[in-house]
């Protein structure tokens, strides 16, 4: 039976940690409403203690969201947890996300503490959060670099204290996919009670492996993936929501599924990019402007004959209207004929042969031959000859 992978969107919290990308509450509400409509299971709305603005955003999002669980972040600190609980007062399904650094580097350098004391703080934080809400997610920050035996101990203690979800962040994007997958498997095999809770993958993209690591986690037992639209986030970003969802839909069909309405992906990507002022790279998987654009003659010829020759995803499935055939100096006659037909000209082979050298000379002088250029060539070469 196909297993559901829960999508935890953190565009408005971890995603918003991109330098210079602060959103005001009004903008967050627009994005949150669409995320809820798109079908995310959990929406991390912010870090309420961090500023009055963030508190207000979490509170307003809690009032607005109809279906998703609304989550607020906190450190393992009482005043943070209480503040998160207050900001979530109006949520239909509130979740407090609390936790602490668990790697030796965090324990020593950040907290000047010991493993035992950190474990006690984790347990106290989960218990305190549990006094406000039923749904408590515990994060073991820098779990990617945390010794597995200690990680299993602290995760088990958090579950015993009442955690409903255990988040295993690769905070620094350090792990390789086989290592992160093995870490999740280790927890599945060694933590008492883990089968009663969700295991969450939260990966950063410092080595470009966030998506691969998240998928490895799912393959080894994670039931929730934390991600952002366009993969935005601290430093090199977080796992990209659109990539994880389309990998699950496309390559893991029958084994796993998500509830995301994928035709909303392109529009959501544009919305987040516009509101946050972060441009999406053209070659970004799934949502980049070139994700379904073909410019070399060989590929264009294939796609015109059958889309599947060079596309593994139907663009309509992610909200892109059509595959685009970009006319450049690498294009062949079939691409010219294809575009000309869309412009109302059914060109014969002889006409195409006539046009081709003119097309190439225009194409060599600019990056892309547009409709206007092509019509001009057809008019001067074909129609003039016929006159």
Q: Rule CB under 6 A: which residues touch ligand KIV? A: 14, 139, 141, 167, 169, 171, 202, 204
* 131: its two tokens: 């006094």
Adjacent-strand bridge partners of 325 = 294
28 or 204, CB closer to ligand KIV? 204
The entry of ligand KIV, Zn ion, none that residue 139 binds, CB within 5 to 8 Å by partner kind: ligand KIV
List the one residue out of 33, 41, 68, 23 whose CA is nearest residue 268.
Answer: 33
Q: Which residues pair with 321 in a beta bridge?
A: none
Residue among 165 and 340 whose Cβ is closer to ligand KIV: 165
Site for Zn ion, residues 141 to 170, rule: CB under 5 A: none
How many other C-beta atoms can be found within 10 angstroms of the C-beta atom of residue 133? 19
Residue 258 interacts, among Zn ion, ligand KIV, none and using kind-specific CB cut-offs from 5 to 8 Å, with none
Q: How far is the CB of 71 from ligand KIV (least distance, A)?
A: 10
Q: How far apart are CA 203 and CA 209, in angstroms?
A: 8
- What is the distance between the alpha carbons of residues 13 and 56, in angstroms, rounded to a whole number? 13
How many Å apart are CA 177 and CA 140, to the nearest integer?
Answer: 18
- If you compute the radius of gyration of the chain from its CA atoms, what whole number of angstroms results? 25
By CB under 5 A, residue 14 contacts Zn ion: yes
Question: Nearest approach, Cβ of 153 to ligand KIV (angstroms)?
Answer: 19
Task: Find which of ligand KIV, Zn ion, none residue 141 binds, CB within 5 to 8 Å per kind.
Answer: ligand KIV
DSSP character at residue 132: T
How far apart are alpha carbons 296 and 190 in whole angstroms?
Answer: 52
Nearer to Zn ion, 14 or 36 (CB): 14
Residue 169 CB, nearest approach to ligand KIV (Å):
3
Shortest spacing between CB 260 and ligand KIV, in angstroms: 21
# chain residues binding Zn ion, by CB under 5 A = 1
* Of the candidates 152, 163, 64, 154, the residue with the CA atom closest to the CA atom of residue 101: 154
220 binds, among Zn ion, ligand KIV, none (CB under 5 to 8 A by kind): none
If the CB atoms of residues 239 and 300 are measured against ligand KIV, the closer one turns out to be 239
Binding partner at 47 among Zn ion, ligand KIV, none, C-beta below 5 to 8 Å by kind: none
N-term to C-term CA, the chain? 67
Looking at the Cβ atoms of 14 and 59, the one nearer to ligand KIV is 14
Q: Residue 202 or 339: which CB sits closer to ligand KIV?
A: 202
Q: Which residues contact 29 (CB under 8 A, 6 or more apart)?
A: 57, 60, 61, 64
Nearest of 250, 171, 255, 254 to residue 213 by alpha carbon: 171
Say how far apart CA 301 and CA 331 lie, in whole Å.
Answer: 9
Q: Nearer to ligand KIV by C-beta: 173 or 315? A: 173
Judged by beta carbon distances under 5 to 8 A according to partner kind, the member of ligand KIV, Zn ion, none in contact with residue 266 is none
Q: Which stretch binds Zn ion (CB under 5 A): 12-20, 41-49, 142-150, 215-223?
A: 12-20
**How far is the CA of 3 from the CAs of 82, 361, 378, in angstroms?**
34, 55, 55
Q: Which stretch binds Zn ion (CB under 5 A): 7-15, 28-36, 117-125, 137-145?
A: 7-15
Beta-bridge partners for 71:
44, 95
- Give me the residues that bind Zn ion (CB under 5 A), please: 14
């Amino acid at each position: 039976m196909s297993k559901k992978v829960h999508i935890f969107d953190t565009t408005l919290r971890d995603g918003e940690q991109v330098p210079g990308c602060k959103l005001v509450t009004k903008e967050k509400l627009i994005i949150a409403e669409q995320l809820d409509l798109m079908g995310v299971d959990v929406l991390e709305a912010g870090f309420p203690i961090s500023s009055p603005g963030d508190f207000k955003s979490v509170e307003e999002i809690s009032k607005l969201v109809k279906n998703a669980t609304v989550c607020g972040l906190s450190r393992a600190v009482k005043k943070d947890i209480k503040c998160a609980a207050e900001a979530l007062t109006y949520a239909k399904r509130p979740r407090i996300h609390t936790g602490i650094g668990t790697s030796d580097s965090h324990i020593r350098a950040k907290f000047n503490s010991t493993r035992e004391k950190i474990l006690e703080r984790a347990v106290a934080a989960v218990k305190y959060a549990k006094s406000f809400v039923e749904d408590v997610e515990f994060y073991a920050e820098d779990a990617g670099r945390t010794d597995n035996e200690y990680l299993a101990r602290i995760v088990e203690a958090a579950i015993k204290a009442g955690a409903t979800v255990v988040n295993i962040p690769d905070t620094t994007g350090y792990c390789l996919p086989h290592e992160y997958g093995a870490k999740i498997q280790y927890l599945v095999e060694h933590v008492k009670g883990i089968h009663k809770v969700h295991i969450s993958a939260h990966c950063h993209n410092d080595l470009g492996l966030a998506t691969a690591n998240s998928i490895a986690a799912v393959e080894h037992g994670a039931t929730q993936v934390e991600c952002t639209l366009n993969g935005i986030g601290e430093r090199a970003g977080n796992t990209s929501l659109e990539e994880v969802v389309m990998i699950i839909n496309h390559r893991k069909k029958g084994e796993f599924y998500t509830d995301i309405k994928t035709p909303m992906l392109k529009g959501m990507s544009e919305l987040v990019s516009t509101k946050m002022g972060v441009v999406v790279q053209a070659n970004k998987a799934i949502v980049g402007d070139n994700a379904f654009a073909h410019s070399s003659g060989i590929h264009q010829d294939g796609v015109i004959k059958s889309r599947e020759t060079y596309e593994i995803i139907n663009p309509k499935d992610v909200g892109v209207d059509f595959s685009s055939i970009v006319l450049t100096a690498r294009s062949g006659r079939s691409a010219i004929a294809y575009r000309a037909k869309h412009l109302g000209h059914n060109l014969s082979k002889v006409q195409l042969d006539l046009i081709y050298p003119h097309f190439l000379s225009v194409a060599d002088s600019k990056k892309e031959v547009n409709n206007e250029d092509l019509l001009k060539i057809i008019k001067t070469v074909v129609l003039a000859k016929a006159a």
